[in-house]
């Protein structure tokens, strides 16, 4: 079995406190190993992009961070607390963990029975934020992602790009320490993709900690501090995006990037 290559030809930014730390994580579904001994770290204010083929375990890896999936082995640490270890959930307050980790889904998953602004208010109210404060924060966030003018629309009245921007506002509403993006532009047309990437670019500029599963390699190259190439449930190669994406050390990474280049 080959060890992952860490490409670090240039000196990277100084190491920071880890918001997410995953060690030796493995996960199987019905006897099929989806993740195998994966290590991953996301430092505060850093942007880590996970790339790889569909079905390679990227999304499962991300879902293990907020325990939407429970790993079979390994340790998951979020904001300094071990939340899952040795196949057991150690975290006693899952809602609190999930408020610490915001998540944006590929298919938006907005609540269709609520208006955009109510989508952003709901979790805040359940977390004990007073009504007026929750509403004001929701409106501020909708303005920040550029959809305040659609604040009273139902999700089915919004375009895909607008829905995803509302979903980002919703994920930000609880002031998470890290945001997870699970292929946030995969269901969007090119224009909507540009809109959503624009919002993410601004978040990156504001210093938001992000773990991002994406097929948008140019975007990963532009905003990510660190790129992790996952294939067959293992980390094949990781490092500075310009190294991993432009000058990969592993043949498998080159193969993937070549197929991406020919497909795009």
Question: CB atoms < 10 A from the CB of 61, how many?
Answer: 26
Q: Does 82 contact other proteins by CB under 8 A?
A: no
Which of residues 142 and 230 has its CB atom nearest to other proteins in the complex?
A: 142
SS3 189: coil
Q: Does 150 contact other proteins by CB under 8 A?
A: yes
- Select from 8, 90, 94, 258 the one that contacts other proteins (CB under 8 A): 94
The least CB distance from residue 144 to other proteins, in Å, is 12
Q: Does 2 contact other proteins by CB under 8 A?
A: no
Q: Does 179 contact other proteins by CB under 8 A?
A: no
Residue 5: phi and psi, rounded to 5, are: -95, 130
Q: Return the DSSP state at 187.
A: T
Q: Does 151 contact other proteins by CB under 8 A?
A: yes
Q: How far apart are the first and last CA of the chain?
A: 31
The least CB distance from residue 76 to other proteins, in Å, is 15
What is the CA angle 115-119-122, rounded to 5? 125
- Select from 86, 90, 133, 149 the one that contacts other proteins (CB under 8 A): 149
Q: Return the DSSP state at 149.
A: G
- Select from 68, 82, 249, 257 the one that contacts other proteins (CB under 8 A): 68
Size of the site for other proteins (CB under 8 A): 44
Pairing of strands 88-89, 81-85: antiparallel
User: Between residue 124 and residue 143, which ones bind other proteins under the rule CB under 8 A?
Assistant: 126-127, 131-132, 135-136, 138-139, 142-143
CA atoms of 203 and 262, how far apart (whole Å): 30
Which of residues 46 and 98 has its CB atom nearest to other proteins in the complex?
A: 98
Q: Return the DSSP state at 156.
A: G
Q: Return the DSSP state at 52.
A: -
- Select from 18, 40, 110, 169 the one that contacts other proteins (CB under 8 A): 110
CA atoms of 102 and 169, how far apart (whole Å): 10
The residue count for the chain: 264
Binding site for other proteins (CB under 8 A): 66, 68, 94-99, 101-103, 105, 107, 109-115, 117-118, 121-123, 126-127, 131-132, 135-136, 138-139, 142-143, 148-152, 154, 170-171, 174
């Amino acid at each position: 079995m080959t060890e992952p290559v860490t490409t670090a030809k240039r000196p990277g930014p100084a190491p920071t406190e880890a918001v997410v730390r995953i060690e030796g994580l493995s996960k199987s579904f019905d006897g099929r190993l989806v993740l195998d001994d994966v290590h991953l770290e996301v430092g505060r204010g850093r942007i880590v992009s996970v790339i790889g083929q569909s079905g390679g375990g990227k999304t499962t890896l991300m879902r293990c961070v907020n325990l939407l999936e429970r790993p079979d082995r390994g340790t998951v640490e979020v904001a300094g607390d071990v939340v899952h270890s040795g196949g057991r959930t150690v975290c006693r307050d899952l809602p609190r963990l999930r408020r610490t980790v915001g998540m944006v889904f590929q298919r938006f998953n907005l609540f269709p029975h609520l208006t955009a602004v109510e989508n952003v208010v709901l979790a805040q109210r359940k977390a004990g934020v007073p009504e007026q404060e929750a509403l004001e924060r929701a409106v501020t966030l909708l303005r920040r992602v550029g959809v305040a003018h659609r604040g009273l629309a139902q999700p089915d009245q919004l375009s895909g790009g607008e829905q995803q921007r509302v979903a980002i506002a919703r994920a930000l509403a609880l002031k998470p320490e890290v945001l997870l993006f699970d292929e946030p532009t995969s269901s969007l047309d090119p224009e909507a993709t540009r809109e959503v990437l624009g919002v993410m670019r601004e978040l990156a500029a504001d210093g938001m900690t992000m773990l991002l599963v994406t097929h948008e390699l140019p975007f990963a190259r532009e905003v990510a501090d660190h790129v992790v190439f996952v294939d067959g449930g293992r980390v094949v190669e990781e490092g500075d995006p310009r190294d991993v994406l432009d000058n990969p050390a592993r043949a498998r990474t080159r193969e993937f990037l070549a197929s991406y280049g020919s497909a795009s």
